[in-house]
Amino acid sequence: VAVFPPNAVAVYPHDGEHRGSPRNTTDAVVSALEPHGPVIRLRAEGDGWAHGLTADLTPAAVAELALEPGSAVTLSVKAATVAVHPAAAS
């Protein structure tokens, strides 16, 4: 099972202009934006690993990206922030 913290997720508008070093990217849709202490927690829906993913963003980033439920986004995670653990036995 691969895990990473919500603050390791970068969020970009879904416009094809993703720039940066993270290569683990997926398209998603914002399902919710919730206050979470000093940050806004974005909840995403999408296929594969995007389903149920969360990302922590500053209020300024949410405003600058004009994010709201229904916004199409590209989510990105640097491989160095991912930890891999054995799956629990079923």
CA 88 to chain centre: 24
**What is the torsional sign of CA 62, 52, 77, 17?**
negative
For residue 81, give the amino acid letter.
T
pLDDT at 63: 97
pLDDT at 13: 80
pLDDT at 54: 94
pLDDT at 58: 97
For the chain, which domains are there?
2-80 (2.40.50.100)
Tokens, residue 60:
């300024």
**Cross-strand bridge partners of residue 63:** none
pLDDT at 18: 63
CB atoms closer than 10 angstroms to residue 1: 8
pLDDT at 16: 64
How many Å apart are CA 76 and CA 83, to the nearest integer?
15
* pLDDT means over runs of 10, the chain (90 residues): 82 73 84 97 91 94 96 89 85
